[in-house]
Structure 1
């Protein structure tokens, strides 16, 4: 498996850091080398937040992701800021409920997922991040979905496990 560099971006409070963290835990559980590097403004909730994750069978040379293989955005400012950084033939996953413009790139694969709508249907708009994470894992196969679910069970709150699992499955269904 090749190295995957991913960038997750949105507003603070959307679960940007936690979805990246669960993916990083899954990578560790799959015996991969992992880097998880959060970045957020001083205002946190409501301010900008992004997090880079690198998963590889090699060693991680630097935790800084400049040209991600995959970009997951949960708001328009994040698309505006990071769209041009995606590698050619990379992947852009966006919450089309909150990203209010179409991407300009034509050399990347784009998955538009109404994550807020799907999360609300499941009973909690707070799990939109997990819908997008489910799509990322299903599309890239960076880790096995079962490994991700194991990481979620081990490192998440037990009372949210079933809801998060369903959200991951809904996101994955956008890839099939």
Structure 2
């Protein structure tokens, strides 16, 4: 099993953090992992994306031209990466900030109201964890205990008190994923 993922959005949405936590979760599940971030010089407010590869076997290169899954968090990323999802693959998006929803008919499309759910949870910074939970519902590539270990590994010790709140956000995202189109 190999899962090739692109997570893309604006800097400040937690794109790179989500990828890092997913990568650490894969490491905690004894998978081979590649984490390959890319962001513009603007950082917060600019575009950012990260490629994460989880595999049972060695990974030859983190550079990809197509993905099994795309997690899209803004319109610029939708315009760039929708076409790069493999036929039969998965595209997950948060409709907040998406003007033109995905149009492809050969992929599975899911929607997660991550912005709204994070606000309902009382902390908009959990947005990326809501989206991560949605992804894990669509593609259960790691177990929740691996995500908890991944959070422990990626967050500084002084922020470990935030882990329960983040796990709650992951669970809420898991429960809230909406299937828009199945192939």
2:97 paired residue number: 98
Tell which has more relative contact order, 1 or 2 (C-alpha 8 A, sep 6+).
Answer: 2
- For residues 76 and 175 of structure 2, the distance between their equivalents in structure 1, rounded to whole angstroms, comes to 26
Deviation string 1:55-106 (CA, Å, 9 cap, x unpaired) is 0011001011221100001111110111000000111110112222221111
- For residues 155 and 12 of structure 1, the distance between their equivalents in structure 2, rounded to whole angstroms, comes to 18
1:46 paired residue number: 45
Q: Contact between 1:138 and 1:145, CA under 8 Å: does it hold in 2?
A: no
Alignment of 1:163 with 2:165, yes or no, is: yes
| Structure 2: tracts of 5 or more residues without a match | 179-183
TM-score by length of 1: 0.95
- For residues 27 and 153 of structure 2, the distance between their equivalents in structure 1, rounded to whole angstroms, comes to 12
| Structure 1: tracts of 5 or more residues without a match | none
Q: Which runs of structure 2 are paired with 1:23-172 in the superposition (5 Å)?
A: 23-156=22-155, 157-172=159-174
- For residues 124 and 54 of structure 1, the distance between their equivalents in structure 2, rounded to whole angstroms, comes to 29
Offset, 1:168: 0.2
Alignment of 1:174 with 2:176, yes or no, is: yes
- Please provide the CA RMSD for this pair: 1.2
Q: Contact between 1:133 and 1:171, CA under 8 Å: does it hold in 2?
A: yes
Q: Classify the secondary structure of the residue corresponding to 2:58.
A: coil
Deviation string 1:105-156 (CA, Å, 9 cap, x unpaired) is 1111111111100000011112111111111112211111221122113322
Q: Classify the secondary structure of the residue corresponding to 1:6.
A: strand
Which sits farther off after the overlay, 72-81 or 146-155?
Answer: 146-155
| Deviating 4+ runs (over 6 angstroms) | none
Q: How many residues align?
A: 175
Q: Classify the secondary structure of the residue corresponding to 2:4.
A: strand
Structure with greater strand share of residues: 2
- For residues 55 and 153 of structure 2, the distance between their equivalents in structure 1, rounded to whole angstroms, comes to 21
